[in-house]
């Protein structure tokens, strides 16, 4: 166990600032094809099942391991193996997000879906490159803090594209419609673009630039699956945040149906909620730093499950602001803590030689719940109702905790 004074000292450095800003760049597109878009669709009275199916536009996040070897093998231009991909995807994302703002859910739903698929693909590709960059840029000792700070940037981007953006639409303070919001938020991709231009490409000792594409595809998988009980690790990665992800896919339509206004959703559920998540990330990273990854995963996994079930409270109280604040506070703190431990765990089990591919495999599996299974969450709500839906999502956490027990047991056995 390490002390907190060294934790605070390590937290503030130029390297961590770069990781933070790149995390911000990765987080900008997510809600713009996720909950922010779903709220726009809900206000336009799009069918709840259709809104649920729109979760599938982000399937690229769960399939990025397919083309991750290409990023490990090829460099687009002289900026470097990681930076060339980062710069390209950041520019493409800015253009696509702005174009999405020209469309309307009532008139161009199919076109919106196609554009969102492209945004998801370019965003997932940016994530492959930035995740690999972070793993190669930071030392093993810096990795736990860097993983948490990356999540800080990611969550603050979500606060901007979710909380701030939603609050501005049709607000009494500023006349901004949904189209103008997407034009405005597309400019935030410049943050990552400027940082990527100024930072140096990390050097990876022992990296062979002559590796064939076939080797780049096969070697990362071979190395990972040669590990003892690799499939148990993958099951844990898949299940740990599954219930949390499935409930999260329906939260914005839930708030709308419960009767909350744009301003209530933006200020309480988004800004207040994401601020709570940042606090959770900070506390979570401190706990991981002092107690270690596995102890933290146990604590935070149980908290995540309880916080998901708590959303049923609003179905009994109606659109009371205090009920929304209580549930959001608990859920986002628990989610932030869980993310701090989970992202650290994922990064720690990747091999530096195959960073992009192995991290993409793990993060892809982790996001299947959010990007594929959550597509059925609208149908689940129709079949079960809101309260049973949240109870069901809370119970989904139990298999993940069982897998955590097996992974932890294996880890302890290897130390003996």
Which pLDDT tens digits describe the chain residue by residue (416 residues)? 455 566 666 666 788 899 999 999 999 998 888 888 888 888 887 888 888 788 788 888 878 888 888 887 788 888 888 899 999 999 999 999 999 989 988 888 889 999 999 999 999 999 999 988 888 888 777 777 787 788 888 888 988 887 777 777 776 667 788 888 899 999 999 999 999 999 988 876 655 554 566 666 788 888 888 887 788 888 888 888 888 878 877 888 888 888 888 778 877 877 787 778 888 888 887 788 778 888 888 888 888 888 888 888 888 888 888 888 889 888 888 888 888 888 888 877 877 777 777 878 888 787 776 666 667 777 888 888 888 999 988 888 888 888 888 877 766 555 54
Show the CA angle centred on residue 192, arms to residues 73 and 27, nearest 5°: 90
The CATH number that applies at residue 387 is 1.20.1250.20
Residue 141 phi/psi, 5-degree rounding, is -70, -30
Whole-number pLDDT of residue 233: 86
Collapse the DSSP code of 169 into the 3-class scheme (helix H, G, I; strand E, B; otherwise coil) and give the result: strand
Whole-number pLDDT of residue 118: 95
Domain count, the chain: 1
Residue 294 · residue 187 · CB < 8 Å: no
Whole-number pLDDT of residue 416: 45
Domain containing 332 equals 4-415
| Torsion (CA) 20, 23, 29, 33 in degrees, nearest 10 | -120
Whole-number pLDDT of residue 371: 63
Residue 11 · residue 228 · CB < 8 Å: no
Collapse the DSSP code of 74 into the 3-class scheme (helix H, G, I; strand E, B; otherwise coil) and give the result: coil
Residue 143 · residue 262 · CB < 8 Å: no
219: nearest Cα among 356, 85, 84? 356
**Distances in whole angstroms, Cα of residue 128 to Cα of each of 102, 120, 132, 217, 405:** 28, 12, 6, 14, 29
Q: Report H helices in 44-188.
A: 48-53, 60-63, 68-73, 83-100, 109-137, 143-158, 165-168, 178-186
* Model pTM score: 0.71
Could you tell me which residues are beta bridge partners of residue 169? Answer: 176
Residues 6+ apart with CB under 8 A from 374: 52, 55, 245, 246, 248, 249, 250
Show the CA angle centred on residue 304, arms to residues 4 and 274, nearest 5°: 70
Residue 265 phi/psi, 5-degree rounding, is -65, -45
105: nearest Cα among 177, 189, 174? 177
């Amino acid at each position: 166990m390490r002390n907190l004074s060294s934790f605070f000292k390590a937290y503030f450095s130029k390297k961590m600032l770069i990781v933070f800003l790149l995390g911000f760049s990765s987080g900008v597109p997510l809600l713009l094809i996720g909950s922010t878009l779903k709220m726009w669709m809900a206000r336009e009275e799009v069918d709840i099942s259709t809104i649920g199916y729109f979760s599938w536009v982000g399937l690229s996040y769960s399939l990025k391991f397919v083309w991750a070897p290409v990023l490990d093998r090829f460099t687009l231009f002289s900026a470097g193996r990681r930076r060339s991909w980062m710069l390209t995807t950041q520019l493409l994302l800015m253009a696509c997000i702005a174009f999405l703002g020209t469309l309307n859910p009532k008139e161009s739903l199919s076109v919106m879906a196609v554009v969102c698929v492209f945004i998801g693909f370019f965003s997932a590709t940016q994530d492959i490159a930035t995740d690999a960059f972070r793993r190669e840029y930071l030392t093993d000792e810096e990795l736990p803090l860097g993983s948490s700070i990356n999540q800080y940037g990611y969550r603050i981007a979500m606060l901007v594209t979710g909380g701030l953006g939603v609050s501005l639409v049709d607000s009494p303070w500023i006349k901004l419609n949904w189209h103008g919001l997407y034009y405005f938020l597309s400019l935030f991709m410049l943050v990552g673009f400027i940082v990527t231009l100024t930072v140096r490409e990390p050097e990876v000792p022992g990296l062979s630039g002559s590796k064939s594409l076939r080797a780049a595809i096969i070697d990362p998988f071979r190395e990972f699956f040669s590990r003892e009980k690799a499939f148990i690790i993958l099951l844990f990665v898949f299940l740990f945040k599954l219930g949390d992800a499935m409930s999260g896919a329906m939260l914005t339509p839930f708030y709308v149906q419960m009767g909350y206004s744009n301003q209530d959703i933006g200020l309480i559920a988004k800004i207040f909620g994401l601020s709570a998540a940042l606090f959770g990330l900070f506390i979570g990273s401190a706990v991981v730093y002092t107690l270690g990854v596995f102890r933290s995963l146990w604590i935070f996994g149980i908290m995540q499950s309880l916080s998901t079930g708590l959303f049923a409270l609003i179905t009994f109280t109606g659109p009371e602001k205090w009920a929304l604040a209580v549930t959001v506070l608990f859920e986002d703190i628990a989610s932030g803590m869980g993310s701090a431990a989970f992202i650290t765990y994922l990064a720690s089990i990747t091999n530096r030689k195959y960073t992009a591919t192995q991290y993409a495999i793990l993060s892809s599996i982790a996001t299947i719940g959010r990007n594929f299974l959550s597509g059925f969450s609208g149908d689940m709500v129709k079949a079960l109702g809101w309260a049973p839906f949240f109870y069901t999502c809370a119970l989904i956490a139990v298999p993940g905790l069982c897998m955590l027990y097996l992974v932890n047991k294996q880890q302890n056995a290897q130390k003996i």
